[in-house]
Structures are given as structure tokens and as C-alpha cells.
Structure 1
Amino acid sequence: MTKKDIIIGFGVGIIATIFGLVFAVQIFGDSDNWGLVIERAISEGFLTKLMSIGALLNLGAFFVFLKKKQDNRAKGVLIATLFVFVVTMVIKFSS
């Protein structure tokens, strides 16, 4: 059950990050076309900032799992957050 809970938490963390990224694109983007906003973010170098803002939703998921005493799922969200951090740093320093 432990590995299953960690995988569920990881999935929740990745999904929360994707939703957060969509919200950030919707709020900070100039266009309703998400593809255009993402493309512009890549070319102008602020995609990593949008990804970081998107990862803020993981904070809520993490504390919800802690409050429900589901520590392994919270651990999975933490692992997902660290994964997003590594991907963000790779994108930032590879360009």
C-alpha cells in the first residue's frame, strides 16, 4: 500500500502542477491561445517562471494529505515537486 500511495501522491502533484501552469498561462498570458503563450514563454525565457507558479498548487495538495494523515501521499507530492524543480532547472540552464 505504501508504494501505491506514493504513486498516487506523485500523480496528484504532477496534475496539480499542470493545472497550476494552465492557470498561470491564463492569468499572465496575453492571448487565449495557450500554445501561442507557451511558445512565446519558451522564446522569451519565462517558461520556468510559469512552471514555478504552477507548482504552487502542490503546496495545497501536500497540506491536505498531511491533514488527512496520508503521509505517504504527501511524500509523493513532495517527490513530484522535486521532479518539477529538476525539470525547471534543466530547462533554465540548458537554454
Structure 2
Amino acid sequence: MKKEILIGFLVGVIAAVFGFVFAIQFFGQSDDWGIVIEQAISEGFFTKLMSIGALLNLGAFFLFLKKNKDHRAKGVLISTVLILITTMIIKFMN
């Protein structure tokens, strides 16, 4: 059971990272990720990119539910909540 939750958690984190990279490529003004991230931080939309990146977790969550992998879906949900907390901390520190 713990292994299944860990697998779901890792899938959630990886999906969020891929979504974040996709958001950087799609919404960024440059091909250099460092420049886009610096712009996002200075202009105040970094947390929005993080939130858009976490949208891929929605697909992973429902895919696991459809395949009756409830513990993996729970892991994805845990990773999404941690991303939410991180996003809120970053947003309110600025």
C-alpha cells in the first residue's frame, strides 16, 4: 500500500514538473528557461506557471481512479496538495 502511494506521489511530482516545463515553453518569451523563470519571478506570475503545471496531475489522478488504483490516486492527490502549499508559501512571501 505504501509503495502504491509513493508511486502515485512520484507520478504527481513528475507530471507537475512536465506541466511546469510545458507552461514555460508555451507562455515564455524566450527559449532559455532561466530567463523565463527570472521574468516570471520579477513580474509576479511564477506561481501561476506552477499552478498551470500542476494541471497535469488532474489527468493522472482520474486515470488512476479509472483503473481502480485508488492508492496511487491518493499519492497524486498528496503531491498536488504539497504543490498547492508550496505555491501559497511562494505567493505570500513576495
The letter of the residue matching 1:47 is F
Structure 1: how far apart are the matches of 2:2 and 2:93?
A: 32
1:94 aligns with 93
Runs of 4+ in structure 1 over 6 Å off: none
Q: CA deviation at 1:24?
A: 0.4
Structure 2: how far apart are the matches of 1:41 and 1:86?
A: 19
Once the two structures are overlaid, the 10-residue window that deviates more, 78-87 or 36-45, is: 36-45
Structure 2: how far apart are the matches of 1:78 and 1:69?
A: 15
RMSD: 0.5
Q: 5+ unaligned residues in a row in structure 1: which ranges?
A: none
1:84 aligns with 83
Percent of aligned pairs sharing the same letter = 69
Number of residues paired by the alignment?
94
Q: 5+ unaligned residues in a row in structure 2: which ranges?
A: none
TM-score (norm 1): 0.97
Deviation per CA, 1:43-91: give whole Å up to 9, x if none.
1110000000000000000011001100000000000000000000000
2:53 aligns with 54
